[in-house]
């Protein structure tokens, strides 16, 4: 009885390894691509940090075929009034480009825009007083622009 179970388990494991190996060899993206994309495009600071770490080591994620390209804040200033918004814009571009490629952009746009706004507000949290107020106001303006035109 144990021998047959062990043999069946070994056969199942070999079949799984063969399927995974074949998918990788054929250039197919890993099965968890959508889960990884979703985890990197949430509103939380930990989601932003995970995306930033992956962006810094893109080669490790090459099998996923993510589009890392960015024009940062498009035609708006990347660092308006000296506020460093460029990385927030880059993550926003990442979400937009990869969800469009996956054909699921419409279902995710509102969350991507909200994540963008949360990223901008985290930048603004580094300031105090009237400078923070000016940053928050600029962040709100950028958020409203992507909601309307993004």
Let me know whether 21 and 62 are in one domain.
no
Looking at the chain, the whole-number percentage of residues with pLDDT higher than 90 is 80
Residue 116 and residue 90 in contact, taking contact as beta carbons nearer than 8 Å: no
Positions marked catalytic: 92
The 3-state secondary structure of 2-55, one letter per residue: HHHHHHHHHHHHHHHHHHHHHHHHCCCCCCCHHHHHHHCCCCCHHHHHHHHHHH
pLDDT digits (tens, 9 = 90+) for 27-62: 688 999 999 999 999 999 999 999 999 999 999 999
Residue 89 and residue 70 in contact, taking contact as beta carbons nearer than 8 Å: yes
Let me know whether 24 and 94 are in one domain.
no
Q: How many domains does the chain have?
A: 2
**CA dist., res. 71 & res. 80, Å (int):** 15
Q: Is the pLDDT of residue 1 over 60?
A: no
Q: Read off the pTM.
A: 0.82
Token pair recorded at residue 114: 């909200």
Token pair recorded at residue 149: 């035109």
Structural domain boundaries, residue 116: 32-149
What CATH number is attached to the domain comprising 75? 1.20.90.10
Burial grade of 17 (CB within 10 A; 0-12, 13-18, 19 or more):
exposed
């Amino acid at each position: 009885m144990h021998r047959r179970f062990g043999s069946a388990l070994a056969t199942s494991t070999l079949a799984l390894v063969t399927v995974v190996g074949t998918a990788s060899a054929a250039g197919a993206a890993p099965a968890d691509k959508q889960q990884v994309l979703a985890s990197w495009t949430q509103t939380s600071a930990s989601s932003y940090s995970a995306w930033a770490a992956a962006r810094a080591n893109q080669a490790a994620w090459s099998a996923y075929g993510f589009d890392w390209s960015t024009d940062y804040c498009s035609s708006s200033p990347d660092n308006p009034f000296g506020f460093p918004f460029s990385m927030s814009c880059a993550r926003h571009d990442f979400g937009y480009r990869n969800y469009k490629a996956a054909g699921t952009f419409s279902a995710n746009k509102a969350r991507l825009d909200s994540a963008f706004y949360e990223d901008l507000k985290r930048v603004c949290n580094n300031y105090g007083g009237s400078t923070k107020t000016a940053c928050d106001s600029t962040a709100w303006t950028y958020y409203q622009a992507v909601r309307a035109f993004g």
